[in-house]
Chain A
Amino acid sequence: MKTRPSRLRRRLGIEWAGVALAASLLIVGLIHWDGLADFDNLIYDQLSDLDRPEASDDILIVAIDEDSLSAFGKWPWSRNRHAELFEKMASSESKAIAFDILLSEASDPETDLRLAKSISENPNLYLPIHLVLPGANGAEFDLKEPVSPIKESAQGLGHVNLNFDKDGMVRRTSLCFKDTSGKTWPHLMELAYRHANGNASLAFDRQSDCKQNLLLPYAARGSYTTIPYAALVNGEMPISFLRDKVILIGATAQGLGDQHPVPMRDGGTLAGVEIMANLYNALLDDNFISPLPKWLQLVLSLLPVWILLTGFWRWRPRTTIFASIALISLVLIASFGLLSMKTWFAPGAALAGLVFVYPIWGWRRLQSTSDFMDEELENFRLAKVDIPVVVTSAGPVDVVTGQAEELTHAIAHVRDLRRFITDALSNLPDPMFITGIDGKVKFVNKLAQTGIEDGSQDFALDDMLNRFVAPEDLDEVKEYLTMQAKPKELDYVDFTSLNDEVFAMRRASVVSDEGELRGYIHYLADITEVANAAQEREEVLQLLSHDMRAPQAAILALLDGQTQSETTKRIEKHARRTLALADNFVGLARIKSNEFSGEEILLSDLVIEANDSLWPLAKARNIKATIGDESEGAFILGEPSSLHRSFVNLIDNAIKYSPDSSTIQIIMRVMELDKEPYVAVSIKDEGDGISEDMLGNLFERFASDDSGSKGSVKGAGLGLNFVATVIERHGGSIRAENIADKKGIKGGAQFTVLLPLAPEPETV
């Protein structure tokens, strides 16, 4: 039982590790190869739309718009037009001027000269340089500067390159550019900022090199004050309007080509000059958005996925789905929160991980569980537990549902089985109880007198015994119950209950399939009647033993005072026969009801004493008993009283059937039978022997030689039966035969008793 869940657990553990590894690798890969850039940009666009910066009033865009085109004609205009503007602006007291128009080709020299001159009249005017990507003749880029002398007339040159994302959007910018000669070109706006504020921007100072891209926060479209070029040139707008402003001059008209897609919700484009306005605005507010370093991006992406993976072990499936949704929201909220703190955390990888891990784990878990259920059901079948075939009326079902239904049936079946067993146990005719290995009573039947209800229980065993077993038998019962291995003769215990009933209790182990001990069954048989009968029988035997003997003893005592006559002799003989009969009868009954318990006996002396006790009888008829002891002091294990009585019976018998003045030969010797040592005792008389028809049933009860050859001596019948019973009880045997005359010795009946030798005592 213990091994199975851990198998499923191990399998799930492996699956889980696999899922965790796959999810982590996915996230690492996505971050490393920027696989979800499009998705991340989309999220970025949506999020940044929620929080747009305010446009600064310091910035003024002078737009070459449709109105200006219609006022001055088609582009490109003569450079005299620009010279005219710059001459006007010289007196404007603007903070800085950035002129975002390319002047890389020469026009007629006089005009260029005029322009250069007008530019130099504005000491705060900056011009752009352009990078052409890719450059001519395999160069990475070509640098396009304004023509001389215009170039020299400007306060400085700044790069105006736009960084396009893969989707063509302008989200990022770099504040400087390093060309192949190693020269660093700050951005045009950075130059304007420096001029206006007298120092480099904070963002510029912060960055470590020019490759670093910053995300540009866009103010809402049209947030910057814009005036048409024409209106300024025509004097529709006073020049004083430019005072204390940073002036950005650039093309906004659709036809002029300086329009770029930007991340705005309306999806439209933005003129290059307005993008630059946004850049300047960001420099001013120092609110560029910097992307997280990759390692931090990785950590933040892995974190929610691992939280979910850990949760799989702890949470219920329903909880995990809510947790997944919560984690997805959390990632988005974190991303937005960081964004408003000017840091960009791309949520794509984390979201992908979360979205990946939930169904994959669900699938692997279901697969493992399904396999496990399959296996378990198979085990169940192998264990020969009969599971009824599942019949679903609802038509085809999916595999796992099928397994679940089958499992439900199996459980119901086991429940039925349990009920069946409980019913069977409850209907047992005799009391019983079951204990578990914890020593507690688990089930009880028909033990109402203990005050415990029938059925399943959880009750201390000692408590129950105290309520049931009579105090004098308690120790014996407890000793029986604590025995581990029971000797055969102790496979049950008798005890009297508190209600004076007598029970025999047997205990059997309950062992599981794996051979593990699960508990014990105790079965109690009510043997009150048997015990009472045995008790009565013992009382009857006691009575018989005394009450039959006592009158005979009195008769013999009475006779003792009388003068000897034929009558008194015969009365005495009959009294003695009755005594012998009583002794044999009681002895027989008693040994049949008692367990054999032997002690060490020196057999030769026992036989000699038996013979000694019959000496008066033998002497009266001048019969001599010779004892040949070759038993070498052999000891046997025996019950002395019954053995003594047996040999008395045998020798008495020999005397009875011997003619007067004959000899009885008693020979004892040690011999081997089937390699086991025995003592053989043979007793031979010189009588007429045993008749053929008597030989067969000599040792049966009440067999007595009534053939009448010697009418004066009659066996009590019980005598030899007693002997045979006793000898058999000692593991010995007895044999009777007739011996023919030989070598001058008269033949007769011979009884031979074989008794096994006692084992040698351990020498101390």
Chain B
Amino acid sequence: MRIAIADDDKEIVEFLGGIVEGLEYVYAGFPDGNALSSALLRDTFDLVILDWNMPGRTGMQILEWMEGAIEDRPPVIMMTSRAAKQDISDALNAGADDYITKPEDPGVIAARIQAILRRGSGSSAMEASAQYGEYKLDRIEQKVHHKGKDISLTAKEFELTDLMFRNRDRTLSRRYIMETVWRTNAHLATRTLDMHVSRVRSKLSLTPENGFRIFTVFGYGYRLETLGNGS
């Protein structure tokens, strides 16, 4: 796997490069947007990690340029020091596959990179059961087994749980979740999804102590993050 990292901060490039190498991938660092875009035209990458604020062309400008200029463009993770909710949802809605707010824990960054690449390699085969950390999902019985206990869920709750675990460390838009779980793009009451997520969180005790947390990306969607010993 080849990963392109563009950041005007040399420390950040090296920091991210260290994480990528820890995952046994290869990386190429670029100090600004122009260097990255010329590389993208003549080289192939499996993932691009883009800093939002760079001299020359900003991350957003490159993202927009990529949409038109690169055929079959690689997935993009937007890195940003901006923490405002509007900035995050703007980036995601502009086509970024994920975003990471600096500073972030190396383990989290690694998990997010892997989540994006996992999607690319397509592990879509549905086994009868799947193990995520201490959670075991029984897709036939629609039950979750955790620390010696069976947790019973409604059909929608199980589907939501399954969807989030399969896409752990990926930011899922509300719309995507709605269409996948409820199979509708009609505007369900916003509260419905919030309540389901809340119930899954509480029934499964998805807390950092258990290695997971659900993170709400306001104005966009949800992400199930694996922490520490999450696989």
Within 8 A of A (CB), among B55-101: 81-85
In whole angstroms, how far apart are the Cα atoms of A106 and B85 in the complex?
Answer: 151
Tell me how far the C-beta of B171 lies from the nearest C-beta in chain A, rounded to whole angstroms: 14
Q: Given A549-B102, A561-B18, A761-B189: A554 and B198 within 8 A (CB)? A: no
Most buried by A among B103, B106, B191, B216: B103
Most buried by B among A558, A599, A644: A558
| Contact between chains at A605 and B213 (CB < 8 Å) | no
Q: Given A615-B208, A635-B191: A546 and B81 within 8 A (CB)? A: yes
Within 8 A of A (CB), among B141-176: none
Residues of B within 8 A of A633 (CB): 195, 198
Residues of B within 8 A of A579 (CB): 103
| Contact between chains at A557 and B11 (CB < 8 Å) | yes
> Is B182 on the interface with A (CB-CB < 8 A)?
no
Most buried by B among A557, A583, A608, A619: A557
Residues of B within 8 A of A635 (CB): 191, 194
| Contact between chains at B12 and A557 (CB < 8 Å) | yes
In whole angstroms, how far apart are the Cα atoms of A550 and B101 in the complex?
Answer: 10
Within 8 A of A (CB), among B1-41: 9, 11-12, 14-16, 18
| Contact between chains at B198 and A605 (CB < 8 Å) | yes
In the complex formed, the residue of A with least CB distance to B9 is A554
Please report the total number of B residues contacting A with Cβ < 8 Å. Answer: 36
| Contact between chains at B15 and A558 (CB < 8 Å) | yes
Within 8 A of B (CB), among A525-564: 545-546, 549-550, 552-558, 560-561
| Contact between chains at B195 and A640 (CB < 8 Å) | no
Residues of B within 8 A of A583 (CB): 83
Q: Given A550-B102, A553-B102, A561-B18: A612 and B84 within 8 A (CB)? A: no
> Is A609 on the interface with B (CB-CB < 8 A)?
yes
In the complex formed, the residue of A with least CB distance to B215 is A609
| Contact between chains at B197 and A546 (CB < 8 Å) | no
Residues of A within 8 A of B106 (CB): 560
Within 8 A of B (CB), among A28-53: none
| Contact between chains at B194 and A553 (CB < 8 Å) | no
Within 8 A of B (CB), among A571-601: 575, 579, 583, 590, 599-600
Residues of A within 8 A of B190 (CB): 600
In whole angstroms, how far apart are the Cα atoms of A550 and B81 in the complex?
Answer: 6
| Contact between chains at B189 and A764 (CB < 8 Å) | yes
> Is B105 on the interface with A (CB-CB < 8 A)?
yes
> Is A682 on the interface with B (CB-CB < 8 A)?
no
| Contact between chains at B194 and A605 (CB < 8 Å) | yes
| Contact between chains at B84 and A545 (CB < 8 Å) | yes
Tell me how far the C-beta of B77 lies from the nearest C-beta in chain A, rounded to whole angstroms: 15
| Contact between chains at B191 and A641 (CB < 8 Å) | no
Residues of A within 8 A of B105 (CB): 616
Q: Which of A556, A599, A615, A629 contacts B103 (CB 8 A)?
A: A556
> Is A606 on the interface with B (CB-CB < 8 A)?
yes
> Is A602 on the interface with B (CB-CB < 8 A)?
yes
| Contact between chains at B216 and A554 (CB < 8 Å) | no
> Is A435 on the interface with B (CB-CB < 8 A)?
no
Tell me how far the C-beta of B121 lies from the nearest C-beta in chain A, rounded to whole angstroms: 27
> Is B201 on the interface with A (CB-CB < 8 A)?
yes
The secondary structure that dominates the A interface is helix
| Contact between chains at B195 and A641 (CB < 8 Å) | no
> Is A604 on the interface with B (CB-CB < 8 A)?
yes
Residues of A within 8 A of B227 (CB): 615
> Is B214 on the interface with A (CB-CB < 8 A)?
yes
Mask: chain B, 193-209; 1 = CB below 8 Å from A; 0 = not: 01101100110000111
Tell me how far the C-beta of B86 lies from the nearest C-beta in chain A, rounded to whole angstroms: 8
Q: Given A553-B12, A553-B81, A558-B11: A609 and B214 within 8 A (CB)? A: yes
| Contact between chains at B85 and A640 (CB < 8 Å) | yes
In whole angstroms, how far apart are the Cα atoms of A551 and B190 in the complex?
Answer: 38
In whole angstroms, how far apart are the Cα atoms of A693 and B18 in the complex?
Answer: 49
| Contact between chains at B15 and A609 (CB < 8 Å) | no
Mask: chain A, 118-158; 1 = CB below 8 Å from B; 0 = not: 00000000000000000000000000000000000000000
Residues of B within 8 A of A605 (CB): 194, 197-198, 201, 214, 216
| Contact between chains at A545 and B81 (CB < 8 Å) | yes
Q: Which of A606, A612, A640 contacts B213 (CB 8 A)?
A: A612
In whole angstroms, how far apart are the Cα atoms of A616 and B209 in the complex?
Answer: 10
Residues of A within 8 A of B213 (CB): 609, 612, 615
Q: Given A609-B215, A612-B207: A546 and B103 within 8 A (CB)? A: no
Residues of A within 8 A of B191 (CB): 600, 602, 635, 761
Residues of B within 8 A of A609 (CB): 213-216
In the complex formed, the residue of A with least CB distance to B227 is A615
In the complex formed, the residue of A with least CB distance to B197 is A605
| Contact between chains at A557 and B218 (CB < 8 Å) | no
| Contact between chains at A606 and B102 (CB < 8 Å) | no
In whole angstroms, how far apart are the Cα atoms of A553 and B7 in the complex?
Answer: 12
Tell me how far the C-beta of B129 lies from the nearest C-beta in chain A, rounded to whole angstroms: 27
> Is B53 on the interface with A (CB-CB < 8 A)?
yes
Residues of A within 8 A of B194 (CB): 600, 602, 605, 635
In whole angstroms, how far apart are the Cα atoms of A644 and B15 in the complex?
Answer: 28
Tell me how far the C-beta of A601 lies from the nearest C-beta in chain B, rounded to whole angstroms: 8
Q: Given A560-B106, A579-B103, A602-B195: A550 and B215 within 8 A (CB)? A: no
In whole angstroms, how far apart are the Cα atoms of A556 and B106 in the complex?
Answer: 10
Q: Which of A554, A602, A612 contacts B12 (CB 8 A)?
A: A554
Residues of A within 8 A of B197 (CB): 605
In the complex formed, the residue of A with least CB distance to B195 is A633
| Contact between chains at A612 and B102 (CB < 8 Å) | no
In the complex formed, the residue of B with least CB distance to A545 is B82
In whole angstroms, how far apart are the Cα atoms of A604 and B202 in the complex?
Answer: 11
Residues of B within 8 A of A644 (CB): 218
In whole angstroms, how far apart are the Cα atoms of A556 and B197 in the complex?
Answer: 32
Tell me how far the C-beta of A664 lies from the nearest C-beta in chain B, rounded to whole angstroms: 14
In the complex formed, the residue of A with least CB distance to B52 is A546
Within 8 A of B (CB), among A609-650: 609, 612, 615-616, 619, 629, 633, 635, 640-641, 644
Q: Given A579-B103, A605-B198: A640 and B218 within 8 A (CB)? A: yes
| Contact between chains at B216 and A640 (CB < 8 Å) | yes
Residues of B within 8 A of A549 (CB): 81-83, 102
Q: Given A546-B53, A605-B194, A606-B216: A557 and B82 within 8 A (CB)? A: no
In whole angstroms, how far apart are the Cα atoms of A600 and B190 in the complex?
Answer: 8
Tell me how far the C-beta of B53 lies from the nearest C-beta in chain A, rounded to whole angstroms: 5
Tell me how far the C-beta of B168 lies from the nearest C-beta in chain A, rounded to whole angstroms: 15
Tell me how far the C-beta of B192 lies from the nearest C-beta in chain A, rounded to whole angstroms: 10
Residues of B within 8 A of A606 (CB): 216
In the complex formed, the residue of A with least CB distance to B16 is A557
| Contact between chains at B84 and A641 (CB < 8 Å) | yes
Residues of B within 8 A of A558 (CB): 11, 15
Residues of A within 8 A of B85 (CB): 640-641
In whole angstroms, how far apart are the Cα atoms of A573 and B209 in the complex?
Answer: 23
Tell me how far the C-beta of A557 lies from the nearest C-beta in chain B, rounded to whole angstroms: 3
In whole angstroms, how far apart are the Cα atoms of A619 and B15 in the complex?
Answer: 24
In the complex formed, the residue of B with least CB distance to A542 is B82
Residues of A within 8 A of B15 (CB): 557-558, 560-561
Q: Given A546-B81, A557-B11: A612 and B189 within 8 A (CB)? A: no
A-B pairs, top 4 by smallest CB distance, nearest first, are: A557-B15, A553-B102, A615-B208, A640-B218
A–B complex contacts, Cβ < 8 Å, 16 sampled: A549-B81, A550-B53, A550-B81, A552-B103, A553-B9, A553-B102, A555-B11, A557-B15, A600-B191, A602-B195, A605-B214, A605-B216, A609-B214, A615-B208, A633-B195, A640-B85
Starting from the known contacts A549-B102, A561-B14, A641-B83, 9 additional A-B residue pairs (CB-CB under 8 Å) come to A553-B9, A553-B102, A555-B11, A558-B11, A560-B106, A561-B15, A602-B194, A602-B198, A764-B189
B interface residues (Cβ-Cβ under 8 A, vs A) = 9, 11-12, 14-16, 18, 53, 81-85, 102-103, 105-106, 189-191, 194-195, 197-198, 201-202, 207-209, 213-216, 218-219, 227
A interface residues (Cβ-Cβ under 8 A, vs B) = 545-546, 549-550, 552-558, 560-561, 575, 579, 583, 590, 599-600, 602, 604-606, 608-609, 612, 615-616, 619, 629, 633, 635, 640-641, 644, 761, 764
